[in-house]
Each structure stands twice: as structure tokens, then as C-alpha cells.
Structure 1
Amino acid sequence: MYLNFDEFYRWPILAMKLNRSHPHIKRDKKWFMQFFILHGMFTIIFLLIIYCVIFHDLKNNDFSATCRNGCLSVMYFVVSFNYAVMLANQDLLTSMFEIMKADYKETQSFITEEQKVVLKYAEQSKWVCTQWLAISIAGVVLFPLRNFILYAYYYYKDDFKLVPVYDMTFPRIIEENKESNFFVYLLTYFLIMYFGLYGSFMYAAFVPIGPIFMLHSCARLEVIIKRVKDLFILNNEEEANEKLKDIIQEIQYVYSFVEKTKICFRVVYELTMKATTIILPIAIYEVIKAFHKGEIRVELGAFIFGGVLISSSPCFYSDLLMEKGEELRLAVYSSRWEEASSSRARSTLLVILLRALQPIAIRTMFRTVCLDALTDLFQQSYAIFNLMCAMWG
């Protein structure tokens, strides 16, 4: 069995190349100019959104519009921070990609049962990549889709007019001409669509990386678990001692890989979970308020669904990683070590058991990323939503 890393994860790799965040891209003057243009335009649109919030939405006490534009503002900060993390950890990410490529090559020497385990988790990682590609595309498509539906509605009512792809107030020179001047209208259309596309490329590129690393660690742990269970059953004492050395090296190898994953995503997941806690109630509140006005804000559905998934995914796979760590501890304890006469083997297994008492999981700056953390996130979001309803309901 041969697993091609670049083929399995072609979508996030393609997205990283398009937004110039791939760790293999040399950070020279050419890259800087590309980054300056791509992220510079993204920043300009963010500044236009901030202008709308400060000089129009807040000034007119339009809380509904403030919520909509606030979601886009948070998206800018999350995307920019993710890009900064990829730049700061360029060497580390490159190293981890190379480790996974080497591991996939090593898989060819595994027995068939172990190869199936690695393939199973690689397929799950591929599904995560496809999932985020679909979400990113849907998040962008929803904006023009709503726009085209309104075009069709006004055409049916014999009241055809230019409809903005996203409702926001631009500076005066643009605002006065965006509905009367077709060129200005196309300019605003392009700016909003570019903002969505750039953000989507970043999400499709960066978000799947964490789950990919976690699932790869789960695959290696499950292979180790299978080897530990057979350690004293299929081998004599001398062979068991030799294979135990290999198992220890494998465990240290996986722990090292998980530690590198922690370094990459410790701050990212803390920020992501905090951002989701804020965006989720705001987006749901805005959808409900718009529905009461007879409007359908389908584009905010991407923020709600994406916000839930962007926090749920790392929590779920980190929780799975914790489960595999616990399975390893139980496998070591139930490996029939009591039948081994070698004191060295028993001492080594004791060290493994003591090390396995510490959960294998991804931690943020303040807590472990797991399903309990996700539950707390939803509880906090619900509390904020209730507070918003009480204040502005």
C-alpha cells in the first residue's frame, strides 16, 4: 500500500499555494509583493467594513447591521491570525509535513492489518479536507446566490434594479454611485466577493491541518496498541524485549509529534474558540431578527455552521486522541506482562504506564481541547444570546 501525501491532501495544499501561505514557498521579495497585494486588498475591505460600523451602524443605532458587519470583522482577525501562525511556524509545519510523508512511506513495510489502520485514518483526514473545501465554497456562493434570487424577484415584480451582493454602507463617493453607476456597482461586488474568497481559501488551507495531525497521531497510536497486545503472545521473551524497545521509540515519536501539534495550535484554538463564542450568538440573533422582518439571511448560515464546525472539529479529534492514549495505557496493562519473567521488561512497561497517565491531548493556553471544552463554549454562547435577547429583544 502506498499513500501519497500530496494526493490525499491536495485541496488544502492547493489553497495554501493560492494564498501564498504554503510553508515550502520561499519568503523572498516576490512572495512579499504577492502577500502585500493579496492581504492588502483583504485589509482594505476590512477597513471599509469598520468604517460602515463606526460611521453608520453605531451612529444610527442599527444593532442588526452592527451584528452582520461585526461577524465579518471577526472573520478578518481570525484569518489574519491564522496566516501569521503559518508564517511563524513555517519551519515546524514543513518538518511535520515531511514526518507524515516519511511515515506514509514506512507504512509500506507494515503488515496488512496495520496498513488498514493507517489508511482508515488517512481517509478520515481526507474527508476533513473535503468537508472544509465544501464549507468554504458554500460560504462564498451564498452571497451571490442571495443576490441572484433578489434579482429574479425584482424582475418578476417588474421593478428590476441593481442589488448589492452584501448590504453595507460605503464612503460617500462610492455610496452615492453604487446603484446608479454600473462600474462602481461591479467594484463593490468584486470587493465583497474577494473578501469572501480570500477568507475561504485561508479556512480551507489552515483549518484542516490540526485535525490531520491529530488523526495521524491516532493512527500511529492504534498501530502501537495492536503491537502491545501481541507483545507477549506472539513472541518469546528475547523477541518481546527487542520489540518493546521499538514500541518505546514509537511512543516517544508519537508524543513528540503531538507536542509539535500543541505548539502550532495552542494559541490558534484558544482564539478560535473565543471567536466562535462571540460570533455564534450574534449570527443566530441576526438571522432571527431578519426573519421577523421578513428577510432571509442565508449568507449568515455559513457563519453559524462554519463557526460550530471550526470549534467542534479540533475538540472532537483531540478527544479521540485522548481516547487512543487511554486505550494504549489499558493495552499495556492488559498485555499479560505478569507472565514475563524479565524484570527489565516489567520495569519498562511500568515507565510506559506512568507516562500514559498523562492524557495525550491538544491544549490551549488555558484548557484541554476536548468535547467538554466544546460544551462550555456552547453554554457561554447561549448565555450571550440570552443576554442579547434581553437587552435588544
Structure 2
Amino acid sequence: MKSPAIILGIESSCDETAAAVICEERGLLSNIVASQDEAHSPFGGVVPEIAARAHMSKIESIIDQAITEADVDYIDLSAIAATSGPGLIGGVITGLMAAKGLSVSLNIPLIAVNHLEGHALSPRLTEDCAFPYLLLLVSGGHSQLLSVQGLGDYTRLGSTIDDAAGEAFDKTAKVMSLGFPGGPNVERWAAKGDDRAIRLPRPLLDRDSCDFSFAGLKTAVARAFEASDQSDAAKADLAASFQRAVSDCLVDRTERAMKAFKQHRTGPYRFVVAGGVAANQTLRDSLNNTAQHHDFQTFFPPLEFCGDNAAMIALAGLERLSAGRIDTLDAPARPRWPLDGDSARTAPASGSGRKGPKS
């Protein structure tokens, strides 16, 4: 292996085409993200076919830009890391095939990264966040609580049984015509509203588990909006009430997970919140207060690393390369790829099928 190791990371699992370069000694050298928000905005959500075509048109130039900004050459690279799943399969294939082509042409290792592992490790881009830690992963497609023992060692404590928190944010924004992407727009409207104005459900709060459910809350928001006068004031109050309901659910489930996490460990206790929803400041404040109450030190990725990005994929690749975990060129693109594979196979939280367990 070349020393110091330099890794190119590629991310294309949804609607961001991204590439980054990280160096073992110098840290992150570049992080390029090309958004597709404008293309998907008219539809109020991500259209897989549009996303796949955008990835194909941008992937080469984004990789070149990451290499140029990092001030390295392709021959300086030690390995190529790329998201291999889970995600929209057209995008995953695009990024993974680009990585395989570079791996062959440069004769360097390929590292197929689980997108969720990238999120799980993302605070380690900027902070000394040692294993083990409790992880709350909240994004557009996933809401999970996991015990992270080390690289590749994840145990599920709870997961969504239907919709993810990020999806609920996006659908709430779509119902109220707040614009795309939904999460940031709901947060902006919520800042102008009364979070106690509208009574909304908190699914599963009476259940002795760490699982989530947001489908009922999403439906309740739609019904509340239909029954309102749909004024700006009504939108702000509903956005604030919805955001508070999500916060209450996340806090309640997290408290249960913290108690379970502490049963088998001594301190210090660490708590990581990652994924796109982790960018929401109201949720950050609530979860940070909860963590302090239970004697956990909290780690959040910087905002630029909460959403999909290639820096976290490059970091996962660097850590996997250091551990000798590389992949062969037949590494598959996967629409589903739970972090806690064993738990997902034996007790899927939200269903399974020909493509494998969803979570």
C-alpha cells in the first residue's frame, strides 16, 4: 500500500453526485457535491430515472474536479472507495462502475462501501469519536438506533417499521407545498410557528422498544392541513407541530436505547447523530439535551457532512483499507444493504423480499 494512503471516494446513491479525496496524514483534501435539486423540484421528490441520468452525465467531471482540487494525480491514489448500496440502483451502479473502471486502469484496490456506514463514521471526519458509541441514523430512507462496536460491527437496537423520519419531512413539505428539498423548508417554516398549536400523534411512545413509526404522523399532518385554512400562519403552526412530534419520537426512542446501551458497558458513553435529518437544529438541540441528561457525549457531523457526500465514503474506504478490508471487482450494486446484516435477516424491522431485508 502506498504511504501515506490517499483514497478517492465516490457517492451516487440518491440525488447527489459526489467525489472526495482524503489523505491518511493530511485529512480531507477535497469534497465535491453536485446537487440535483433543480431537476427534481417540479416533482416534489426524487425521480429515480432523472437521478440516474444526472449521475451518468456528471460523474466523470465531478471525479476530475475532486482530484484537481485535492492537488493530487490519479497515480497517487491508493484505492477507490464507492457507495455500493443501499440506494436507487441506477445511481449506485453509475458510481460503482466508475470506481471499478478506475480500479482496473490504475491497478489499485476497490472498496465497496455501505452508504449507511459512511453516515455512521461521518463524525470521525472532524472529531476524535472513538468506538464504541450509540448511533442514531436519521435520513430520508432510514431511521435506526445501533450500537457501534467498531468498523463493520453494528447491532440494531431499533429501526423504523414503516417510513423514515426524513421521508416524513419531505412528504410534509410536499403536502403543504413548501418546496423541495422538504426537510430544510419544513424547518424554516417551523421557526415561524407555534409547535403546540396542533395536536399530532407520537407513534409507538407507549411501546417498550426502540423502534420508530412515522407513517401515521405523516397521514395526520395531511389531514390536519386539509382541515386548515391553508394560510401561511396555518402552514407555520403545522410545520412546527410536526417537527416537535418528530423530536418527541426521536428523544423517547433514544432514551430507551441509551438505557439499553449502558446496561452492558461502563463509561465514557458516546452518542452519534448522523444522516440528513441530523442537520435540523431543533432536533439537534433536543437530542443533545437528552444525551447530557443521560451522561452521553454527543457527536454531530458538521452540516456539510450530514447529507449525502463523498467525504464520508472516502473516510470509510480509508478505515477499511487500513484494516485490510478490500473488495473484488464483482462487488454488487445493492438497492438494500442493512448495516446490521444478521439482525436484518433474522428479524427484519420493515419487511423483506427478493432484494433482501429492508432494515
TM-score normalised over the length of structure 2: 0.25
Give TM-score scaled by structure 1 length. 0.23
Q: Relative to total residues, which structure has the larger strand share, 1 or 2?
A: 2
Larger CA Rg, structure 1 vs 2: 1
